[in-house]
Each structure stands twice: as C-alpha cells, then as structure tokens.
Amino acid sequence: MEKILRLNLAILFLLFAMMLVSPSAASLKNPAGSITVEAKSKKKPAKKSTTRKPVTRTNYITMKKKEKLWVGPSVAAMHPETKDWKSSNSKIATVSTKGDEEGFHKVTVKKKGTVTISCTVKKTLRGWIKGDVHKWVITIK
C-alpha cells in the first residue's frame, strides 16, 4: 500500500513539474509532451526619443529711453552659443551681433516704442536645444 501511495505521489509530482515547464507537456493525450521552439526576431525595438523639440521663450521688459540694456539667454551663469540676433524694428532699438564673453548682447535704444529682440540657440547644450528661440519684448517709455 505504501509503495502504491509513493508511486502515485511521484506521478503527481512529475505531472505537476511537467505542467510548470510546459502546459502542453502535461496533457493527457500526449503524456510524453512536445517541445516548441520559437524564433526571436532580429529587429531591435524602436528607441523613444528623449530629446525635446525646440521652443520659443519670451521675456517682457519695460525701460526708459536713457537706460542701458544687455540681453542674452542664461541659466545659473551658463550661456549657450547663439546666432541670428535681430531687432523687429531697427528705428526703435538695435542689437549688437557680437556679444561679450558671457554671451550678452547690447541693445541700443533710439526712441520710444515697442520692439522685439530675438536670437536662436546655435547648438545643443544641457538645458538648451539647437533651434530654441529666445525673445525679449521691450517697451521703451
């Protein structure tokens, strides 16, 4: 009786182990089981881009005609390389194309009005992405 009980437990254990390895191997129709082989694709999954798209950042400044102004993008004393410095209305204010060693550019005020000074980031550096546009809307009173 003990031998039969041990044999039944061994068979149950074997069936249970086969079911863990492969569910089809434990079926009653095919007690010997079968082996299934799946080929893996050599294609790599597409990488998600973590780089953001260029954005436009706008600052608003109000100043008097006699005040001096230097503008430039900076965060925590870091300055990106910039290009394409422009003034929307050169009759009101102009901006120098060459900046100082820190990347700030001098705005020369000519008369009262509102003008937009803009520049574009030249290359990607930490928080800046190539193509970011920085604008300063300056109201001169």
Report pLDDT digits (tens) over 54-97: 888 899 999 988 888 888 888 777 888 888 999 999 999 999 88
Helix (H, G, I), strand (E, B) or coil at 6: helix
Query: What's the chain's average pLDDT?
Result: 80
Task: Say which CATH class 54-138 falls into.
Answer: mainly beta
Nearest to 116 by CA among 82, 85, 80, 88: 88
pLDDT on residue 22: 58
Looking up tokens 């191997």 gives 25
Banded pLDDT at 26 (limits 50, 70, 90): very low
Identify whether the C-beta of residue 75 lies closer than 8 Å to the C-beta of residue 127: yes
